[in-house]
Structure 1
Amino acid sequence: MNASPPPAGSEPGSRPVSAADASSGAAAKPGPRVTVIVLTRNHVRQIVDTVARLTALPEHPHVIVADNGSSDSTVSLLASLFPQVRIVQTLGDHGVAGFNRAFALARTDYVACCDDSTWFAPGALAQAVQRLDDHPNVAVLNARVVGEDEREIHPACLMLNATSPGGEGLPGPALAGFMAGACIFRTSVLRALGGYEERLSHGGAEELAALDVLSAGHAIVYCEAALAHREPLCRWFTRAQHCALARNSAWVAWMRLPLRDALAATGHALVVFARQQSLGPAGFALLRGAFWALRRRRVAPAHVVLLTRQVRRAERHVRAGIPAMAEKYDQSGQRAW
């Protein structure tokens, strides 16, 4: 495991300043502006392919692999094939919270996040950097995720774009959430956030992070130019996963939203539990965690609550009007990615 920050000037891809450069006053060649962190667990074929694509990008980003306790040959093969790539290992599956230890290693202005089946297109990171440079109020860009041939847009992106309330003065549609596996973060905001909440790591962590980012006065934006490709995957959620997503969303509501919204999220969770024939066990887990959530209660500002309500109303409208897209979105993870 390599989790200690690199000494100054030792980041992969950077060039140390020579004595001749220093004495002559020559400027050092600027290093990468963005670090890409890839989350993986037991997907050795996909992660090798994805890292090969990322290390070949013209932006020459730093690449860090956050391994969520893989038991296959992921770590040894990556270390052999890509010695310039840093690998951060955890002992188990921490979900999106597996990003956290890798976040601490980033020494660039921006951090791009993806999973082992997603990679950024050539030039996409440069486009993202330009937009973040030009709009200091924007903290997160959600990438446009497409299939390998760019003909099919990921249903979660369609839903995010369709439910945006607008984007005046922003480099794209304003969002109330983002996809943890396809986004570009401003590193300073990410550090202030402290990463993802471990207890919500398998659903709801990015929902809580989005509320905290918006509450701090930043914006989240959907960026068409930040193009990412995704290998087609079919994800079918288990009964336990459906229940966990609904439970965690209710916990987030109790932590950050007014009573009205928290009660609505709790009611929705109970409906999901009943539909999944797990009302007793899942309901008990929801109640037990509610005390944990209430101890962390800090209601978001009124403008953030208004934005989340606007987005939820738009989501209901989309689900009613385009049920096929809504069904694909549900199978994709309801922003859990």
Structure 2
Amino acid sequence: MTDPRIGIVVITHQRRAEALDAVARLTGLPERPPVVLVDNGSADGTADAVRQKFPQVDVLALSRNAGAAGRNLGVERLRTPYVAFCDDDTWWEPGSLTAAADVLDAHPRLGVVNARIVVEPGARDDPIVAELHDSPVPGPDWLPGPALGSFLAGASVIRRAAFRAVGGFSSRLWLGGEEELLATDLLSAGWELCYLDRLVVHHAASPARDAGLRRRVGLRNTLWFTWLRRPIAPALRRTAYLAIAVPHDRTSALAWWDALRGMPWVLAHRRPRPQSVEARLAPLDAAQRASTARRYI
């Protein structure tokens, strides 16, 4: 079942045990995909441990934590037309990569497919799955699954040419909600995104995470994206909603301060998305406010 059409990029930081487990699962897939592990500046010996145990894996050890932009570097190391992303606590189910490549082969304007996420232990659907399945975003009739306005990077397969054409993940956003900006740029360039229930990614959430930092960066990135790509009126409405809805605590205050400090950069790079894309994605505002699965920020 070796499939030369698809490779995998994994990003990791300070999770040596999880990275070794993820790489073991990925190198054992029947598709035998080439795997690139991007170590985002770990100081726990992750890169050396993976090189020693899995010499067939291309390990790129960075001197700093580049966040989501580390995936861009991994994509450049591959030459496959399609790239599956993985975090160090997720892994693809056997057969899903070939199924994704078949779908992308059959639909040349499809840029990203998002898989179903199964939470481990227990093999239960992540609560976000229902929202992906019932996405309110309208899409063309030819799409093989529900149209999406964004995606979850650790459970997605992208068309490498589309990804590179729009510049990949923003290095400025680091990590946390970074997918929305890329998704909007793909849609603005004429690509489509969809959810495919038959693709499966398993997720065993690592306890090694800084929830406060992720929320701070996520809120900052939400605000930055809003003013980078939304027209004035929707941007004002979304900003006002966030000012009311997010917790009024120190983490949120720091996020607002971070966002304000970055506004000169945001305004210098502001490029509102086309009205046709804005109209298609407008239903996501209400869906995100009503979400019980995962708060957008």
TM (normalized to structure 2)? 0.91
C-alpha displacement of 1:211: 0.5
Shift of 1:31: 6.2
After superposition, the Cα gap between the structure-2 partners of 1:73 and 1:277, relative to the gap in structure 1 and judged at 3 Å, is closer
What is the identity percentage for the equivalent residue pairs of Structure 1 and Structure 2?
36
Partner of 1:200: 173
Q: Structure 1 pair 205/282, CA: closer, same or farther in 2 (3 Å)?
A: closer
In 1, are the aligned partners of 2:12 and 2:88 still within 8 Å (CA)?
A: yes
Match of 1:257 among 203, 221, 230: 230
In 1: Cα distance, 2:246 partner to 2:117 partner? 31
Distance 1:190 1:39 in 2: 17
Partner letter of residue 30 of structure 2? P
Structure 2 unaligned spans of 5+:
none
Q: What amino acid is aligned across from residue 180 of structure 1 in structure 2?
A: A
Q: Which of residues 281, 285, 289 is equivalent to 1:312?
A: 285
> What corresponds to 1:70 in structure 2?
42
Aligned length: 295
Rounded Cα–Cα distance in structure 1 between residues aligned with 2:152 and 2:253: 31
Distance in 2, matches of 1:314 and 1:274, equals: 19
Question: In structure 1, how many angstroms separate the alpha carbons of the residues matched to 2:127 and 2:64?
Answer: 29
Q: Does 1:38 align with 2:15?
A: no
**Secondary structure at 1:83's aligned position in 2?**
coil
Please say if 1:329 is aligned against 2:294: yes
Is 2:249 aligned against 1:284?
no
Greater CA radius of gyration, 1 or 2? 1
Q: 1:235 to 1:159 in 2, by over 3 A?
A: farther
Aligned in 2, Cα 1:31/1:197: closer, same or farther, shift over 3 Å? same
Partner Cα separation in structure 2 for residue 112 and residue 157 of structure 1: 18
Moved more, 48-57 or 259-268: 259-268
Shift of residue 282 of structure 1?
4.0
| Mapped partners of 2:19, 2:98: distance in 1 | 22
Give the whole-Å Cα distance in 1 for the aligned partners of 2:252 and 2:115. Answer: 36
Deviation by residue 1:83-134 (Cα, 9 ceiling, x = unmatched): 1100111112222122121111110010000101111111000000000001
Distance across 1 between alignment mates of 2:130 and 2:35: 28
Mapped pair 1:80 → 2:80:
no
Whether the 8 Å CA contact 1:128–1:225 is kept in 2: the answer is no
Residue aligned with 2:91, SS:
strand
Secondary structure of residue in 1 paired with 2:77: coil
Q: Distance in 1 between matches of 2:217 and 2:246?
A: 9
Which of 255, 263, 267 is the matching residue for 2:240? 267
Residues 126-185 of structure 1: per-residue CA shift (max 9 Å, x gap): 000000001111100011110347741122333222333355320100000000111100
Gap regions ≥5 residues in structure 1: 1-29, 320-325
Q: Tell me, yes or no, if the aligned pair for 1:200 and 1:248 is still in contact at 8 Å.
A: yes
Structure 2 CA distance for partners of 1:43 and 1:249, relative to 1, 3 Å = same
Deviation for aligned residue 1:274:
6.1
Is 1:91 equivalent to 2:63 in the alignment?
A: yes
Question: d(CA) in 2 for partners of 1:277 and 1:294?
Answer: 26
For the pair 1:113 / 2:85, whether they are aligned, the reply is: yes
Q: SS at 1:104's partner residue?
A: helix
The 10-residue stretch of structure 1 (175-184 or 97-106) with the greater mean CA deviation from structure 2: 97-106
Q: CA RMSD in A?
A: 2.3
Q: Give the SS at the match of 1:42.
A: coil
Is contact 2:137–2:281 with CA below 8 Å preserved after alignment?
Answer: no
What is the CA distance between 1:205 and its match in structure 2?
Answer: 2.0
Distance 1:240 1:269, change over 3 A: farther
TM-score normalised by L of structure 1: 0.81
